[in-house]
Amino acid sequence: MSSQQPQAVRFRYLPDTLKAQVPKHVTHAIIDSSVTFVDKEAFSRKRKLLEVIFGSSSSEQNSNLLTIGYDAFSNCRLLSRLHLPTTVIEIRDDAFANGKSLVEVKLPHGLKWIGERTFADCTSLKLIQIPSTVEELGFRIFVNCRNLVSVELTEGLLVIGEKVFEHCTSLRNVAVPSTVEVVEANAFLNCLKLEQRFPYTDELHEALRHRFDDCPLHRICYEQAFPQVNATAMELDDMQWSTETASLDCFGMTPLHMLSLSTVPNVQLLKDLLQQLPNRTQLACTKDRWNQSPYDYLFLELDTNKTSGARELMEHMIEVTLLHPTQSLGLDRWRRDIWNRVDFFQTNNEANTLTADRIHTAYEKLSHYWQLEIYSLLELAIWESTMDEQRRQGEVVDRQGCRIQCGVQVILPHVMAFLKDQDWLVVGFGIETKVD
């Protein structure tokens, strides 16, 4: 028996539409441009709903929608993406609750109110950005969003209320803006990743408030997705590009982690960073407190949004911090080995054939080959020094004898161990002098 695709059921929602008039098996809904209010429970439990378009076309510009009512899209188990129009100013309680497949939500700048439990039990949601026009996050808005990793908050928010992020067990990228006056004690209740790092609530809140105080690059990368706080070229030019400004934050993250976790991947900012940061190769493979590198988060973003700039961002980072440094390696076969381990991403259309493990392995190989080359250069230098000493003393130079007697077998292991301890050796230890 041949399987058949379910038939598409399209429905245009008009101002006088009643709940009973919305087809039970609707798959594609168009919210007409004349609609200003989506009624309570209008599309609730429409379990085959796949897509919602606001306005007369896929463009958001011709929508006049202002309010999304209580439970309007709750229990829509197949709805995966929502780009709300710029006109929306209010989302009422439980509007998108229990959207098990919801992976991407774009909230408009100008939104003023998000109701209680709006995204409760949206277990596929991983990244979200809260506009600065929202002043309060209320009761349990993101409760049980157990795959939510990154929440972008910015200046303008005043209150983080009761149990907002309760049971967001994967949450690890969030910062409390300076404008916030109240953070309820249980706002991050059972956020296991955060609590693991800061077991006491007061310590966690303090860390989130001051996360970027000594990390200006982190702040720019975290806030760059918000139109009203985009970093200007002058800000970037004036920044002190040094290891200090690109250090780790309280979660062990680098600026590249921030860009990888952003809801809006910014390739140009990445290029600016990689062009000027002195330790870019080190930062690209650094793992945070949860053993995740920027690449791990980029793959998460690729999985969340197939059309985002995450792939381009990942490709450029690999090119500059991994493939370009291989030019300094002495052997072609070592270079080819590393290129093979990233599957020649330039000619591969399927980003998911790459894995973070493959990239990490390529960095390990690069560091290993650099270590071998440095070892060889040091050995040659010590050998040459021993022969020079014989020449100065007027002795006949015994090349083989000098190699045996120069003590390289004793000296080199200690030298290499010292360099490794000083973070000078492997890629993760920052041999960045080899990169122009």
* DSSP-derived secondary structure for 296-309: HHHHHHHHH-TTST
315 lies in the same domain as 342: yes
Q: Is residue 226 one of the residues assigned to a domain?
A: yes
253 lies in the same domain as 279: yes
Q: Is residue 187 one of the residues assigned to a domain?
A: no
Q: What is the mean pLDDT of residues 408-416?
A: 61
352 lies in the same domain as 426: no
The predicted pLDDT at position 424 comes to 42
Q: What is the mean pLDDT of residues 73-100?
A: 96
Residues 6+ apart with CB under 8 A from 169: 146, 190, 191, 192, 193
331 lies in the same domain as 412: no
346 lies in the same domain as 264: yes
- Residue 156 CB coordination number (10 Å): 17
Domain boundary residue among 360, 394, 425?
360
428 lies in the same domain as 371: yes
Domain boundary residue among 295, 330, 360?
360
Q: Is residue 191 one of the residues assigned to a domain?
A: no
229 lies in the same domain as 347: yes
244 lies in the same domain as 267: yes
For a pLDDT cut of 70, what percent of the chain falls above it? 81
What digits encode the pLDDT tens for the residues 31-64? 999 999 999 999 999 999 999 999 865 544 589 9
Higher pLDDT, 352 or 298: 298
Q: Is residue 395 one of the residues assigned to a domain?
A: yes
What digits encode the pLDDT tens for the residues 103-149? 999 999 999 999 999 999 999 999 999 999 999 999 999 999 999 99
Higher pLDDT, 322 or 345: 322
Residues 6+ apart with CB under 8 A from 35: 13, 14, 15, 63, 64, 65
Amino acid at 329: L
Domain boundary residue among 360, 391, 413?
360
CB 76 within 8 A of CB 106: no
333 lies in the same domain as 381: no
The predicted pLDDT at position 386 comes to 78
Residue that is written with structure tokens 């490709």 in the block? 315
The predicted pLDDT at position 311 comes to 83
The predicted pLDDT at position 427 comes to 40
The predicted pLDDT at position 244 comes to 52
Q: Is residue 412 one of the residues assigned to a domain?
A: yes
Containing structural domain, residue 311: 216-360
The predicted pLDDT at position 434 comes to 33
What CA–CA distances, in Å, run from 78 to 6, 25, 42, 74, 95?
13, 12, 16, 11, 15
Q: Is residue 204 one of the residues assigned to a domain?
A: no
Higher pLDDT, 309 or 109: 109
258 lies in the same domain as 388: no
pTM of the model: 0.84
Q: Is residue 99 one of the residues assigned to a domain?
A: no
Q: What is the mean pLDDT of residues 290-303?
A: 88
Q: Is residue 298 one of the residues assigned to a domain?
A: yes
278 lies in the same domain as 412: no
355 lies in the same domain as 220: yes
Domains identified in the chain, total number: 2
Higher pLDDT, 103 or 228: 103
